[in-house]
Structure 1
Amino acid sequence: MARYRDSIHSRAAIAGHPLHPMLIHFPVAALTGLLPVDLAHLWTLDDFWWRAGLWLSGVGALGGWVASIFGLIDLVTVREIRQKITAWCHAILAVMMLSLASLNWLLRYQNDAQSMQLWALYLSAITAVLISLAAYLGGRLVYEHAVGVDLDKV
């Protein structure tokens, strides 16, 4: 099998396994699940859904910032990653998304459901779109550029 590219190894890794892709699953699930939870709250007006949204937005934002630390370590310390436009676009989208997710959590935490219901829904929808775009670019980094992939073991 001919190799057309070399692996780009992560510096933020344990035993060669990159930490950033390991840590993004829960924040992505929480922030993606936030949109249907907000729709359920809008449909039923049950406070359970508002409380669930508060927790999902908090877990998603906090977990996303933690995961982003390891992605940032790779971005600034690995020259091959830093040279990829895809990596910078992924990082910029992720920061935009996490900023909106953090604002979403803060608004939920400081206000009641009646005053913030539509704002929370809008922020959740925009966050879901940005997650989709950032995830697509993250997948391109792995599958097209072999970031964090050990091609010698494939």
Structure 2
Amino acid sequence: MQSRLRVQGHPIQPMLVTFPMGLFVSAAVFDFTDVIGGPAFLGEVGYWTGVAALVAAALTVVAGMIDLWDVPGDRTRRTAIAFNLANTAMAGMFLVACLVRAQSPQRGASVAILIAELVALAIGGVGVHLGARLMRQFDAGRTEAGSFDALAGSTVEIVPPRS
């Protein structure tokens, strides 16, 4: 299976998934620090980090839906749908948390919001597992990246420093 959205032969969606996941984890860390009594501005940083993660997640979901058109209708398709649903559920829970926080003037986190974010991250962890399974299925016929055969055809140009 080849993805429709590619950069130099590599599918875009697996690259995009790392951004919202990392931002959601960062938002939860900032919120945890805010809840345990850290500086108040960390709650607002957590809020805006969550908003940035939602924008990145929206782009990732669009790329996932485009890639889903080309997935064969077997177990791989079911895994791809579950992967996209897990990521969408995680983003949906963070969206609700951000909407609740948007009403407060300082946008600080509460214990309930932090628990919801941790549950969302657990759902995202399932999505990461499913995404890894998809990558193994798609790359089954390709050369392992850890071998020297994977470097065949690659070129590296070494430019000497200017004097």
Match in the other structure for 1:86: 79
Given the alignment of the two structures, is residue 107 of structure 1 paired with residue 100 of structure 2, yes or no?
yes
Q: Distance in 1 between matches of 2:57 and 2:88?
A: 9
Higher helix share: 1
Q: Structure 1, unaligned stretches of length 5 or more?
A: 1-7
Mapped contact 1:30–1:56 kept (Cα < 8 A)? yes
Match in the other structure for 1:146: 138
Which of the residues 54, 66, 70 maps onto 1:73? 66
CA RMSD of aligned residues (A): 2.2
Q: Distance in 1 between matches of 2:141 and 2:43?
A: 43
Match in the other structure for 2:130: 137
> Which shows bigger deviation, 51-60 or 103-112?
103-112
Q: Structure 2, unaligned stretches of length 5 or more?
A: 144-148, 151-163
Task: Give the paired residue count.
Answer: 143
Structure possessing the higher relative contact order (Cα contacts under 8 Å, 6 or more residues apart): 1
Between the aligned residues of both structures, percent identity stands at 20
TM-score (normalizing by structure 2): 0.77
Q: Which digits, 9 at most, give the CA deviation of each residue in 1:67-111, with x for residues without a partner?
A: 111011011x2042x532211111111111111111122222222
Which of the residues 1, 9, 18 maps onto 2:2? 9
Match in the other structure for 2:25: 32
Q: Which digits, 9 at most, give the CA deviation of each residue in 1:39-76, with x for residues without a partner?
A: 1111115211111111111011110111111011011x
- Counterpart amino acid of 2:21? V
Q: Distance in 1 between matches of 2:100 and 2:53?
A: 14
Mapped contact 2:80–2:131 kept (Cα < 8 A)? yes
Name the larger-Rg structure: 2
Given the alignment of the two structures, is residue 121 of structure 1 paired with residue 114 of structure 2, yes or no?
yes
